[in-house]
Structure 1
Amino acid sequence: MSSNLNTVLAAPFGDDSDPRGFWLLLLGHVEHLQVRNYAPDTIRIRANYVRSFALWCLDRDLSQPALITKPILESYQRYLFRYRKDNDQPLSWRSQNMHLAQVNQFFRYLVKFNHLPFNPASEIELPKQPKSLPKAILSADEVERILAKPDTTTALGLRDRAILEVFYSSGIRRAELCRLRTEHIDVDRKAIFINNGKGQKDRYVPVGLRALLWIARYVESARDKLLLDHKEPTLFLTKDGKPLNPDSLTEYARKYIQSAGVEKSGACHIFRHTMATLMHENGADIRYIQAILGHERLETTQIYTQTSLRKLLEVHGQTHPAEKPDEDDTDDDSENTTESK
């Protein structure tokens, strides 16, 4: 069991000896997902959502999944809608949807293995998902300002510059970057091998020469200073010589964006959005971008056709009546020119 999953399941809840209670049934659900070879991160996320629901039930003296009815689940759905985070913001529609969807999956598992006669969540209508676009896209100039911020005279600064260059050049996800090993960088092919990416899929991603040069500088001048165990294969390391944590990576990226004076929200993922949008604006076919990003469905990638404005602005400027020179003004200009002669 992964360390992240261990964290989610570290403390038993409810009656941990009750074979019909939430705790033992959740452990069975987790084991079922592991046997089916689900990714550890997927299992952790699913277990966390079910755990949150179970704790909500236990607060209401509902100690077993068998006690849960459709009206109770509808009450939980209203609770999610009204819930406010520490910053007083509501849960996003996506988050509400995920909570309910994973509870439904848990009950489906219970029915499949005869722990329950029917699924009380089967008729719960999930919140409709808005088709939102990336909230922020960086310009090429903004990216360069951010990339210039790490202090490359230090080992950590050199590491961070290489990390930002890889994000911008390849568009890989933060978890994928944290798992990169030194042997995953294929200099001859100008590619990065993504091992066990999202959905447990391997893929090769192109990476530019500039990013490769910064990786080389980091490996030659900084990695050995961070390395404590020479058997450690991970490419990017903390000051303690350990693999980076995705959440820490988010903090680093956000720090450099803010220090560059870029007033746009985002961290690691903003480089992924930016790379895809700028490549599309410069003529890249959407299917190539899909392959680079590792999207299973083209529909997921097509949001970048909507955030790419350059071509739309060109067409707008060339065809919108208000953008065309006024003919009367043109005639007046030519008459004034003639008179001046």
Structure 2
Amino acid sequence: MQIFEEYLKDKETNKPKSIILTKNYLKGFIRYVEETPVSLNNFSAEDFNKYIDWLINCHFEQNKNIELSWFKHHFAYLLTFFIWLNKQNISGFDLKHLITEESLNAIKNKIELKRQNNNIIPDIGTIFEQYKAYIEANDESKEAAKKLIIRDLLQFKEYAESKNKTFLDFTADDYEQLRHEWLKFQTYPSMPLAEQTLAKKLSNIKNFHYCLYNRGYVKTYHLSEWKGNTLLKYIFDQRSNKEPVKKRYYSNQEIIRAFKKYLNNESESITVYKQTIRDVYFFIEYLINRNKTIYKVNSDTLEEYKKYLLKYEYQPGFNYKPVLQLRQFASLKRFYNWLTFERYINENPLKDFKPLEYEIWLKDNIKEEPEHRDNVKWHDELMKGFLKYEQYKGLNEKTMLSHIKGCDHYFEYLERLGIEDIKDISKQNIRGYLMYLNSCKNRFDEQLSVNSKIKKIAGVKNFILYLEKFSFINELLSNTLEYPKQHQGLSTAGMTNSEISKLIESADGNDKRSLRDRTMFELLYSSGVRSNELCQLKINNINLDAGMVRVDCPKGGKDKERIVPIGHKACYWVRRYLREVRSNLPKSEYMFVNRLGKPFSTATVLIAVKNKLRRLHFKKKQIVTHSFRVACGTEMLKQGANLKIVQEQLGHRIIASTEKYIRLVPTDLKKAHEKYHPRS
């Protein structure tokens, strides 16, 4: 509207600070003039009364503030506008004589009458959906903010239902109780919601209640005192009145035991659970070595710990990456949030910890990464030849990658000895390497497992055999490399049929993740396939009509491919998974894929198993993905299956591997003992 633009320009020259308020208070009047045939040149008292009625209706429809105080401010700006129009000879209308106490009382009566006439109250669901639609259509906030408003309203609705009430029945006392209980809202368990966030959440409830009042759905407006600063002051005051700390000191073992229990109940991921506990243990060990306790940690302790993490080497020459150092402090913050929440301590030493600031500090202080194999050239040509030889032998990529890692580790050891020529290696430094493996740790600060040592030694041994075969070295050294003793037999814990049924049925299939897990578990148990075979399983290799699965990426290479049967229960869950979950994921030939369309890793399958096991509290602690395979073999043998049949089902190369399962099935031995032993 051109006249209004001219008025704003004139206003900006004389009173620039009032421009925003002028726009806000007059935008309704400008809209009225544009949408109706009224003219400013001939504006009359009748037009003004029609405008008031229109304005009240608009505010009711849009759930805006229609308190009398707002109208007083609005009329003040409107009066200034008409005075300017009079000076410009655009309108001769005198608004001042219409704005009196009587006219304001008349407006107040109109508002009350409008509310009283709004006596047809829809059902609760309709009211809620109407307000949601209004927020999405009219609220000027960003999309993310709108979603947060709707989330807060859903939480309010759930809270009301938990009290066996509707939000129409809420009294002033009910709202006060809600405000008090919502003080306990948490970002995640034991981490209270930030004060400003909680104040915004309560403010969204206030706006919703005002909408109910405006539309006449409730007769009394209870939340006039819920203003921004007042809400914040209330939250700060309430949170400052903490319960006293626990009366006695608790040992590290007692605290960790309680923290584990809390984390086990609250953490959704077994990975997060393990990482958090590992990081806390690492920190406690750091404190013990410096004669400090959990209770005495302060900002100086944390600064020292930052520097310690920066320099710490979990293997000679290997420091923690910045992302792992950040995770260490994130775990500690969660731990101390819990300690404060449970009142073990009074103040959280990590309350003001800012991950972004710590990340900047790490970038400024980070140690340069140790030189990698790409920068060391003396053994590159040898490794290229070794890899070509392994490809010629037909080894799969996973085996070759394992050999490369083992060789890389050995080369790092040689560099520490100052050896840069392959002809300088000897039986003495090979034996030294075997001893060196005993002192090595992984990135979790744990000793290398026997399997990890065997994999590294296997890579080195195959490399030295290659050197001997093609005369790169003159001495026979491969016999010097001895593998550490490994326990024979089934290292993997099995499960009984009842145990495995509980584990499988813990994934009820009520959501996408649960349905995916149920399908994986059913396939693992029914077919007895290995974890990596499940990850490489292709959709086209499953014949649901015949109940058969083709395993085309087995252990041992392509010549070990097999076709195995699966049960009707597994087929049912596969059909559901393909229809309800897999159809919404990226196109790929693989059965189980992530959002990028790449096949699952064995770690993903293991995490799914461990997450379910945490809730079941089985006494057996070593249950892993391979336990499904062990259970498949043992249960088939218990039911009288022929050993050769079980061998084919499991894909064992030699029957001796299958015979190990007989030890887990002692029923036949018991029967024979009762039949033939003289004192049975």
Give the alignment's TM-score, normalised by structure 2: 0.42
CA contact (8 A) 2:537 2:590 kept: yes
Matched, 1:207 2:553: no
Residues 155-174 of structure 1 correspond to what in structure 2 (within 5 A)? 155-174=512-531
**Compared CA separation, residues 114 and 234, structure 1 to 2 (3 A):** same
1:91 matched residue in structure 2: 449
Which residue is 2:608 aligned to? 252
Residue of structure 2 equivalent to 1:152: 509
* In 2: Cα distance, 1:107 partner to 1:132 partner: 29
Alpha-carbon separation, structure 1, partners of 2:635 and 2:408: 40
Corresponding residue number in structure 2 for 1:334: none
CA contact (8 A) 2:548 2:564 kept: yes
Q: Give the CA deviation at 1:316.
A: 4.4
C-alpha distance in 2 between matches for 1:219 and 1:131: 40
2:432 corresponds, among 63, 69, 75, to 75
Q: Secondary structure at the match of 1:204?
A: strand
Specify the alignment match of 1:51 in structure 2. Answer: 408
Describe how 1:1-341 pairs up with structure 2 within 5 A.
12-13=372-373, 16-18=376-378, 21=379, 23-83=380-440, 86=444, 88-89=446-447, 91-92=449-450, 94-200=451-557, 201-225=560-584, 227-228=585-586, 230=587, 232-264=588-620, 265-316=622-673
Query: Cα distance, 1:206 vs. partner?
Result: 1.5
Give the length in aligned residue pairs. 306
87 and 307 in structure 1: CA distance in 2 versus 1, 3 angstrom threshold: farther
Compared with structure 1, are the counterparts of its residues 280 and 260 closer, same or farther at alpha carbon in structure 2 (3 Å cutoff)? same
CA contact (8 A) 1:84 1:91 kept: no
Distance 1:125 1:244, change over 3 A: closer
1:53 Cα offset (Å): 1.6
Secondary structure at the counterpart of residue 59 of structure 1: helix
Using a 3 Å threshold, how does the CA distance of structure 1 residues 285 and 64 change in structure 2: closer, same or farther?
A: farther
Q: Give 1:244's aligned amino acid.
A: F
Q: Which residue of 1 aligns with 2:103?
A: none
Q: Which segments of 5 or more consecutive residues in structure 2 lack a partner in the other structure?
A: 1-370
**What is the CA–CA distance in structure 1 between the aligned matches of 2:546 and 2:475, rounded to whole Å?**
53
Contact 1:147 1:164 in 2 (8 A): yes
1:241 Cα shift?
Answer: 3.8
Is contact 1:156–1:239 with CA below 8 Å preserved after alignment? no
Post-superposition Cα deviations, 1:225-256, rounded to whole Å, max 9, x if no partner, equal 2x12x3x1111122444321111111111211
SS of the residue corresponding to residue 577 of structure 2 reads helix
Alignment deviations for residues 176-200 of structure 1 (CA, whole Å, 9 cap, x no partner): 1111111010223321101131111
Structure 1 residues 132 and 78, CA gap change in structure 2 (3 angstroms): farther
Name the aligned partner's letter for residue 568 of structure 2.
Answer: L
- The answer for the alignment partner of 2:261 in structure 1 is none
C-alpha distance in 1, partners of 2:406/2:547?
40
The AA in structure 2 aligned to 1:17 is: K
**What amino acid is aligned across from residue 472 of structure 2 in structure 1?**
H
Output one character per residue of 1:80-103: Cα deviation in whole Å (capped at 9) or x when no partner: 3454554645532x5434433331
Q: CA–CA distance in 2 between the matches of 1:15 and 1:24?
A: 13
1:266 aligns to what SS in structure 2? coil
Query: Does the 8 Å contact 2:550/2:561 carry over to 1?
Result: yes
Indicate conservation of the 8 Å contact 1:191/1:206, yes or no.
Answer: yes
Instruction: Identify, as 1 or 2, the structure richer in helix.
Output: 2
Are the aligned partners of 2:492 and 2:626 in contact in 1 as well (CA < 8 Å)? no
Q: Deviations over 1:268-300 (max 9, x none)?
A: 101011111111111111111111111111111
Question: Which secondary structure does the structure 2 equivalent of 1:150 belong to?
Answer: coil
Distance 2:440 2:377 in 1: 31
* Residue type of the alignment partner of 2:600: L
Displacement of 1:309? 2.3
Q: Tell me which amino acid in the other structure corresponds to 1:46.
A: H
169-178 or 239-248, which deviates more = 239-248
The one-letter amino acid paired with 1:44 is L
Report the CA distance between 1:113 and its aligned residue: 2.5
Q: Which has the higher contact order (CA 8 A, sep 6+)?
A: 1
Q: Distance in 2 between matches of 1:241 and 1:90?
A: 33
Identity %: 25
Aligned partner of residue 219 in structure 1, secondary structure? helix
| Deviation of the 1:15 alpha carbon | 5.4
Mapped contact 2:402–2:455 kept (Cα < 8 A):
no
Q: Is the 8 A contact 1:46 1:102 kept in 2?
A: yes
RMSD of aligned C-alpha atoms? 2.3
Tell me how far 1:122 sits from its aligned partner: 2.6
Q: Deviations over 1:313-334 (max 9, x none)?
A: 4444556677x5xxxxxxxxxx
**Is contact 2:438-2:447 (8 Å) kept?**
no
For 2:570 and 2:458, how far apart are their aligned partners in 1?
39
Letter in 1 for 2:601: N
Tell me which structure has the larger Cα radius of gyration.
2
**Cα contact 2:492–2:630 (8 A) shared by 1:** no
**Alpha-carbon contact 1:251-1:267 (below 8 Å) kept:** no
| 1:88–1:37 Cα change, 3 Å | closer
